[in-house]
Structure 1
Amino acid sequence: MVTAKELREFDEAKLAEQLTQTQEELFKLRFQHATAQLEKTHRLNELKTDIARIKTVMSQKKSGR
């Protein structure tokens, strides 16, 4: 789990890379969940929160905050 403070230190390319990696991990975990192989289901919510946090920081950087 990455904090917003840490994300603000990244540049836009690194944020995009982090977003892609997190989305890929979420996809894999959703697949495992669908096939009843996922033990840590709380990780799904953590990843969704991380994705929202990354997107928020990206939009803040674009708006100049």
Structure 2
Amino acid sequence: MSNAADLRAKSTDQLNEQLLDLKKEQFNLRFQKASGQLENTARVRQVRREIASVKTILGERSRTA
């Protein structure tokens, strides 16, 4: 999992790209859960929190800009 310092070091474009990847992963995890193929259930929580971290930093940047 990325920490806040790593995320802040990334450019806005990189953060938007990471957000898109995390959303795709979240979608796939939901699909696996629905079909009963999900093995790492903790990953759902991790991805949700990483999405929140990225969105928080993007929000901070948009407010300061």
Q: Same fold (TM over 0.5)?
A: yes
Across the aligned residues of Structure 1 and Structure 2, the Cα RMSD in angstroms comes to 1.2
Matches within 5 A, 1:40-59: 40-59=40-59
| TM-score (normalizing by structure 2) | 0.94
Aligned pairs, number = 65
State yes or no: 1:4 paired with 2:4.
yes
| Larger fraction in helix | 2
Q: Distance in 1 between matches of 2:62 and 2:5?
A: 16
In the alignment, residue 14 of structure 2 is paired with which amino acid? K
Q: Distance in 2 between matches of 1:23 and 1:2?
A: 16
Query: Which stretches in structure 1 are left out of the alignment for 5+ residues?
Result: none
Q: Distance in 1 between matches of 2:3 and 2:10?
A: 11
Q: Distance in 2 between matches of 1:9 and 1:64?
A: 16
Query: Which stretches in structure 2 are left out of the alignment for 5+ residues?
Result: none
Report the CA distance between 1:47 and its aligned residue: 0.3
| TM-score (normalizing by structure 1) | 0.94
Report the CA distance between 1:62 and its aligned residue: 1.3
Task: Show structure 1 runs of 4+ deviating over 3 A.
Answer: none
Paired position in structure 2 for 1:28: 28
Q: Distance in 2 between matches of 1:18 and 1:44?
A: 16
